[in-house]
Structure 1
């Protein structure tokens, strides 16, 4: 934890993004995501504590515990991966953070996982389509290929989570993702069949997840966080 962060205690933090997915290449940024607990007294003043801190060099995003929980309960794919990382990618893992990892299934429900992952994948396709016919600069081509890789990952990971209740952050066959990215960079329309395939897969598959998340254990965890961060 770098010295500029003084707003509370980091409970859980790790390396996410392309490094976690196994898609990083030379020159890729190393992204970090975490959650922190603000001092409990900060919630009783005139102004609520800042809910998110974002820094560069290193690239890191920290959400306050309650905000992180709300985002996770909404099915947010980026936030969700924090509690499914391989052990070696965690950099901060406190007892309260460990508890949260143990509660990760309580955060899930079928409609929100489906809508969030398919929604984010659709956003990536719209970004691809906005790039045109592939006749653009090398830098734009790289960004377009990245959008395509994200689309493929969101489809595969989202459907896996929906169908099995488990998320594997590191992708299978990274080379296939890079090939797909290059194909879509040359012709963005090439990504549409994959998106349609997974829209059909979600629609035709019965999820193992419940219709609603179990907020009770998450609320109880937040109460323990506030109790630990209380200063008499």
Structure 2
């Protein structure tokens, strides 16, 4: 025996969680009886940990429960890059937030400053295209992959809709208003991936038109917020 062991889930949980909530299919309104409950959040590493030889871990991921926590600076970089998964944390309906500290509230207040036209287009359309590729490379004779294909199709539809809505309104829609229609359309796409081509081409067309987002994000609010986070978690000598 080498003496090593898998860390317990609670050992992987940072102390200074600033904002966290339930994301994924539950947040979108697409959950079913067998769906996992996914959680996402961000935390502040103690400021003094950045002064040593080794930087603190940027993410903590557990599978029991399914939870991802990003360090505050990493979350900001992901959001400035338009990452769909990270970004939804600050757009969740209030009842889905499980931890919402004053610094978390501040982050929600500056959420639009992270948005930019190029990042939103590249990220949302890019991730949707990845889902489409997974559908087109699926072996139709593999019936075991049918449920997975429907999941890819649901993600594709959601990503396209979220991205286009962000581009045109500057608001990220989390809870889908018509989840049953999305499920039904996803089932058809799972059986015939070519049905998604119209959806993707329409999204490309709408992204090509002027939207409400700036070409580049405004990094100043994120920088100022991070400095407040570091000051709040600095232990005096």
What band does the TM-score fall into relative to the shorter chain?
over 0.9
Counterpart selection for 2:198 from 193, 203, 206: 193
| Residue 55 of structure 1 pairs with residue 62 of structure 2 | yes
Contact kept? 2:12, 2:62, Cα under 8 Å: no
| Residue 70 of structure 1 pairs with residue 74 of structure 2 | no
1:141 CA drift (Å) = 0.4
| Residue 33 of structure 1 pairs with residue 40 of structure 2 | yes
Q: CA RMSD in A?
A: 1.1
Scaled by the length of structure 2, the TM-score of the pair is 0.94
| Residue 231 of structure 1 pairs with residue 231 of structure 2 | no
Scaled by the length of structure 1, the TM-score of the pair is 0.95
2:187 corresponding residue in structure 1: 182
Task: Give the 3-state SS of the residue equivalent to 1:32 in structure 2.
Answer: strand
Counterpart selection for 1:136 from 137, 142, 159: 142
Contact kept? 2:13, 2:60, Cα under 8 Å: no
1:202 corresponding residue in structure 2: 207
Pairing 1:10-25 to 2, within 5 Å after superposition: 10-25=17-32
Q: Could you tell me how far apart the structure 1 residues matched to 2:10 and 2:32 are?
A: 29
1:17 CA drift (Å) = 0.2
| Residue 95 of structure 1 pairs with residue 102 of structure 2 | yes
Contact kept? 1:7, 1:39, Cα under 8 Å: no
Structure 2: runs of 5+ lacking an equivalent: 1-8
1:186 CA drift (Å) = 1.1
1:147 corresponding residue in structure 2: 152
Q: Could you tell me how far apart the structure 2 residues matched to 1:115 and 1:75 are?
A: 8
Q: Could you tell me how far apart the structure 2 residues matched to 1:192 and 1:78 are?
A: 23
Q: Could you tell me how far apart the structure 2 residues matched to 1:3 and 1:79 are?
A: 22
Q: Could you tell me how far apart the structure 2 residues matched to 1:31 and 1:164 are?
A: 27
1:135 CA drift (Å) = 2.5
Aligned residue pair count? 228
The list of structure 1 runs, each at least 4 consecutive aligned residues, that deviate by more than 3 angstroms after superposition, is: 5-8
1:192 CA drift (Å) = 1.4
Counterpart selection for 2:220 from 210, 216, 219: 216
